[in-house]
Amino acid sequence: MPAISVRDLGKLYRRYDSNRPRTLQESVIQGMRRLAPQEQFWALRHVEFDVERGIIVGVIGSNGAGKSTLLRLIGRVGAPDEGEVEVRGRVGSLLDVGIGFHPDLTGRENVYISSVISGLTRNRVHERFNDIVAFAELEEFIDSPLRTYSDGMQMRLGFAVAIHTEPDILLIDEALTVGDMAFQRKCLERVVRFRNQGGAILVVSHDLDLLADLCDHILWLDRGQMAAYGQSAETVEAYVSQSSAT
């Protein structure tokens, strides 16, 4: 059974900025106009694919192609307007580095909160705590408030938490490029190990070389539609030749 099955998935975004009643006053004034058709567009439509366990899928496409929207729907942040997503297993999302971090709390407190948001039990966080801190290489700073951390340190801590929450499915949005080269390599090794242990991974990135290298398959999104889903090298190649043609 595939870890992720996406069936005829569609997400409709209504363009709210101009005519959306943001306040009650406008809502009353526009009471009638709300019935008029709003400007709307499909951020994703007719997207359909499976991701097996033990596979890394890279998602490519130009800005606004729907890559992040796809990850958010699989991560259950927001609901589809068409079709369905079936996930088999716990989803860990790295849609942003350091989800739930609060600048005034210490690194230690933030590790607990961030892990628990990902659905871990307290005892489990307790067991993994030293591993997380060691992975982030932040032993000396773990009891300092997060606001004293550099951006790189925060990202390292965030990545360390996400990778240690032991999901079955991992969603990564542009987060593989955190830290210096050495730390990046450590993260990639970790992702590959996670794949080899049977995890399913979806990575969004603009780093095509990295994806061609890392991924088993590439999903190419073009303006919300699937342009291709296939072997990494050839799909990236097709994408590059099409992008440079236009």
Partner 1 sequence: MASTSPQNPSVRSASVPQVSIPANEIHVYDAEVGWRNLLPDLQELHKYRFLLRNLVVRDLKVRYKNSVLGVLWSLLNPLLMMVVFSLVFGVLSNNDIRQYSVFFLVGLMPWNFFSGSVLSGANSITGNAHLVKKVYFPRLLLPVAALMSNLVNFFIALAVLVVFLYASGIGLTVHALWVPLLLFTQILFTLGLAFMLGGLHVFYRDIMMILDVLMLAWFFLTPVMYPLSRFGEQVTILGIPFMPAQVMRWLNPMASIIDGYRTVLWGTISSAGHVSAGPAAMDPAYLLRTFVTAMIVLVVGYLVFARRQHLFAEAL
> Which residues would be at the binding site for partner 1 (CB under 8 A)?
1, 13, 22-25, 27, 48-50, 52-55, 72-73, 75-91, 93, 95-96, 99-100, 102, 104-105, 109, 112-113, 116-122, 145, 168, 197-198, 216-217, 220, 222, 225-231, 238, 242, 245
Residue whose CB is less far from partner 1, 24 or 32? 24
Residue 94 beta carbon to partner 1: minimum distance, rounded to whole angstroms: 9
Which phi and psi angles does 123 have, rounded to 5°?
-65, -40
What is the rounded distance in angstroms from the CA atom of residue 175 to the CA atom of residue 228?
23
3-class secondary-structure state, position 225? strand
> What residues are paired with 60 via a beta bridge?
220
Residue 125 beta carbon to partner 1: minimum distance, rounded to whole angstroms: 8
> What residues are paired with 203 via a beta bridge?
58, 172
3-class secondary-structure state, position 184? helix
Q: Tally Cβ neighbours within 10 Å of residue 237.
A: 14
Residue 118 beta carbon to partner 1: minimum distance, rounded to whole angstroms: 7
Is 223 exposed, middle or buried (CB count within 10 Å of its CB: 0-12, 13-18, 19+)?
A: middle
Residue whose CB is less far from partner 1, 90 or 190? 90
How far is C-alpha 50 from the geometric centre of its chain's CA atoms? Answer: 17
Residue whose CB is less far from partner 1, 49 or 188? 49
Residue 214 · residue 56 · CB < 8 Å = yes
Residue 150 beta carbon to partner 1: minimum distance, rounded to whole angstroms: 19
Rounding to the nearest 10 degrees, give the CA dihedral for residues 72, 74, 77, 80. Answer: 100
Residue 23 beta carbon to partner 1: minimum distance, rounded to whole angstroms: 5
Residue whose CB is less far from partner 1, 13 or 129? 13
Residue whose CB is less far from partner 1, 205 or 232? 232
